Chains A and B, each alone.
Chain A
Amino acid sequence: MAEAFVAGFLAVLQWKTFSFMLIGIAVGFWVGLLPGIGGLTTLALMLPFIYDMTPVEAFAFLLGMHSVTATTGDITSILFGVPGEGSAAATILDGHAMAKKGEAGRALGAALMSSLVGAIIGAFALAISIPIIRPLVLIFGAPELFMLAVMGISFISSLSGQGGRAMIRGFLGGLLGLLIALVGLDPQAAIERFTLGQLYLWEGVAIVPLIIGLFAMPEIIDLAVRGTSIAGELPQANLRSGVLEGVKDTFRHFWLTVRCSLAGTFIGIMPGLGGSVAQWIAYGHAAQSARNATERSGFGKGDVRGVLGPGAANNSKEGGSLIPTVAFGIPGSAAMAILLGAFLIQGLRPGLDMLDKHLVLTFSMVWTMVIANVITVAVSLLFLNQLAKLTTVRGTILIPFILFLAFIGAFTEHNHIGDLITLLVFGGVGYLMVRCGWPRAPLVLGFVLGEIAETNFYISTTRYGLSWLYHPVVLTLMVLTVIFIVYPHLRFYLKQVENEPIA
């Protein structure tokens, strides 16, 4: 095993393989940066290029590209509030808020370094978990996946609204997200649900216009209302010194970064949960790590931990989602389903062979993810200061370009005018939610998990009746859900009682 581990490393360093990886990284870098081009589409478009490559070269090229899109996707989220990738939306909440405080450099440094840590942890999780992962994946059937979805939504709804009515608004957001996810054809009976008679809505509400609308539009409106640059009239010194500070933040909150990376890896392993879920769960965990209510009130307003958690999880989930893909041929995400096509093109069969006959190739994938992220972060760090300076450009110059990116990004989802209408509708919803203090994160997570929750609920009730409610893992997840919801509020209440003066 150790020999294969080293051989995998050396295989990636072969000049031809390394060159293909660099090309992949260059493509992935720009794909991640531009909101109009999806990482998934590009991965699919690149498949025909691997016919003449060896398996190691092919996976170095594809994984090199895929593993950096998540890293660079955070850059536009932080600078302009427009996610480069749909899965980079959670970074907006605190990352863009930091940019508005003149700390864009720090936020970018933190996002990139935590992404690197996440990628390394995810990659090595793949390396060490292959022999032991089979029982874990098999434990999680439909009832457990349904409960996992419920836990995720409850968790983020509870944490996004702090105290009193804000918690009600958090749950309202989560439930609205779940309901929006049901728009389209019912997956079981193919009956139209909430489609308003529109063919465009048969496939459901498009995720990219929804996310860009919810997050970018309120930011654009606020930027126009302020009439300044993104960073306002703040001192420019923060921009120059911030990148290193952001890198240091990753190590100041190292255990949080590690925990969020592990959460991302775990979510990556679970088929179908995807990158957006990993980011939001990590964001929820980061918010939960606040020691008191005052500290937690800083989340959403530019707390660096709100950047570190999603940044780490977004990258670590890639290693996680490769685990079931390589070990069982079950893709952990849509990207991995495309990658499965690469296995077939190369004449490889995922499963036991990958852990035995092709172990060197499996380890070369691990090393590709690590090396690609190291190179991306190193290159990015060289010109992050220049990127951060974009936040000092006048808003009147930036706004037409941000709107250009937002409209193009939304349109490329289905190349349909309906995408632009979705963008405008959810832009309006996002603005109203921000104005009325409704957190937007639960709505996105509810939307992302809606279909997963319904499908698994349907399978659970059809297969087990009500007896699935007594499955040990389901019960454990139920208890965890209650703890996640109650504990932060209980701790907050106890702190208040402690601080009250004795009469």
Chain B
Amino acid sequence: MKPKLNLHFFLALGAALIAGYALYAAMDWPFRTGLFPRMIAVPLLVLALVEMGLSAFSTEKQREGHAVDFELTTDLDPSVARQRTLAIIGWILGFFILILLVGFPVGIPLFVFSYLKLGGKERWGLALVLTVLSWIVMEGLFDQLLHIPFPEGWIQSLFE
């Protein structure tokens, strides 16, 4: 039978690699430091290998069981779902990069406005009102009132 190399298989492979790395790293540690990590990594490796095997070769869908957890939406055309998934992942990573570049106080209103206007195609008025609101919460609550020490963005530090 030809093995199925799907996402399930690769997730289990990831878990197996983490367990393998844990066992390898623990080799250099004193006995007591490495004992507990080994106790965890061995069953993790065994179970991950079992899951890998089952993901690759099992064909019985009903034996999969189900997780007590939420499930992603499935009632959309897969290509649309894939496209939207990639888009939102792009926005999330973009948000992170924006914070690195310009810091939280500038990055947050900028992101809120960009997402509302470009991602959500919202009206100008609404986008501007919500952007100002996000700026007020950011500046008023988190910066001025709670004094959270937000680091400067890379761009600001270039001009210092």
Contact flag A188-B68 (CB < 8 Å), given A226-B73, A397-B130, A400-B134: no
Inter-subunit contact B40/A399 (CB<8 Å): no
B156 on interface, CB distance cutoff 8 Å: no
CB neighbours of B11 from chain A (8 A): 432-433, 436, 438
Among B1-55, those with CB < 8 Å from A are 7-8, 11-12, 15, 18-19, 21-22, 25, 29-30, 32-33, 36-37, 40-41, 43-44, 47-48, 50-51, 54
Contact flag A222-B33 (CB < 8 Å), given A163-B65, A172-B47: no
Give Cα A435–Cα B10 distance, bound, in whole angstroms.
Answer: 12
Inter-subunit contact B44/A397 (CB<8 Å): no
B67 on interface, CB distance cutoff 8 Å: yes
In the complex, the 9 A-B pairs of residues with the closest C-beta atoms, listed nearest first: A396-B120, A166-B65, A163-B65, A224-B88, A439-B67, A175-B44, A164-B65, A164-B63, A400-B115
**How many chain-A residues does the 8 Å CB contact rule pick out?**
78
CB neighbours of A415 from chain B (8 A): 148-151
A317 on interface, CB distance cutoff 8 Å: no
Among A172, A424, A457, the one with the most B-chain Cβ atoms within 10 Å of its Cβ is A172
CB neighbours of B40 from chain A (8 A): 175, 178-179, 182
CB neighbours of A417 from chain B (8 A): 100, 151
> A148: shortest Cβ distance to chain B, in Å?
16
Inter-subunit contact A166/B96 (CB<8 Å): no
Inter-subunit contact A287/B7 (CB<8 Å): no
Give Cα A296–Cα B29 distance, bound, in whole angstroms.
Answer: 43
Give Cα A224–Cα B108 distance, bound, in whole angstroms.
Answer: 19
Inter-subunit contact A396/B99 (CB<8 Å): no
- A residues neighboring B (CB under 8 Å): 34, 36-37, 93, 96-97, 159-172, 175-176, 178-179, 182, 186, 188-189, 191, 193-194, 217-222, 224-227, 287, 296-297, 299-301, 394, 396-397, 399-401, 403-404, 407-408, 411-412, 415, 417, 420, 424, 427, 432-441, 453-454, 457-458
Among B48, B95, B126, the one with the most A-chain Cβ atoms within 10 Å of its Cβ is B95
CB neighbours of B96 from chain A (8 A): 407, 420, 424
Inter-subunit contact A188/B33 (CB<8 Å): yes
Among B68-121, those with CB < 8 Å from A are 68-73, 76, 81, 84-85, 87-89, 91-93, 95-96, 99-100, 104, 108, 111-112, 115-116, 119-121
The digit string for B138-151, where 1 denotes a CB below 8 A from any CB of A, is: 10011000101111
CB neighbours of A164 from chain B (8 A): 62-65
26 CB contacts below 8 A, A to B, read A160-B67, A161-B65, A162-B66, A164-B62, A165-B65, A166-B66, A168-B47, A172-B44, A179-B37, A182-B37, A182-B40, A193-B29, A219-B70, A300-B68, A396-B121, A404-B137, A407-B95, A408-B148, A411-B104, A411-B148, A412-B148, A415-B148, A434-B69, A436-B7, A457-B36, A458-B36
Closest A residue, CB atoms, query B73: A226
Contact flag A424-B84 (CB < 8 Å), given A163-B65, A176-B44: no
Inter-subunit contact B72/A179 (CB<8 Å): no
- B residues neighboring A (CB under 8 Å): 7-8, 11-12, 15, 18-19, 21-22, 25, 29-30, 32-33, 36-37, 40-41, 43-44, 47-48, 50-51, 54, 58, 62-73, 76, 81, 84-85, 87-89, 91-93, 95-96, 99-100, 104, 108, 111-112, 115-116, 119-122, 126, 130, 134, 137-138, 141-142, 146, 148-151
CB neighbours of B12 from chain A (8 A): 172
Inter-subunit contact B92/A403 (CB<8 Å): yes
Inter-subunit contact B146/A424 (CB<8 Å): no
Closest B residue, CB atoms, query A227: B84
Give Cα A232–Cα B3 distance, bound, in whole angstroms.
Answer: 38
CB neighbours of B25 from chain A (8 A): 193-194
Inter-subunit contact B69/A440 (CB<8 Å): yes
Inter-subunit contact A396/B122 (CB<8 Å): yes
Partner of A407 from B62, B71, B99 at Cβ < 8 Å:
B99
Closest A residue, CB atoms, query B37: A182
CB neighbours of A436 from chain B (8 A): 7-8, 11
CB neighbours of B137 from chain A (8 A): 404
Give Cα A420–Cα B92 distance, bound, in whole angstroms.
Answer: 11
Contact flag A420-B99 (CB < 8 Å), given A160-B69, A219-B70, A222-B73: yes
Inter-subunit contact B120/A439 (CB<8 Å): no
Inter-subunit contact B134/A188 (CB<8 Å): no
Inter-subunit contact A175/B47 (CB<8 Å): yes
Contact flag A188-B37 (CB < 8 Å), given A165-B64, A222-B73: no
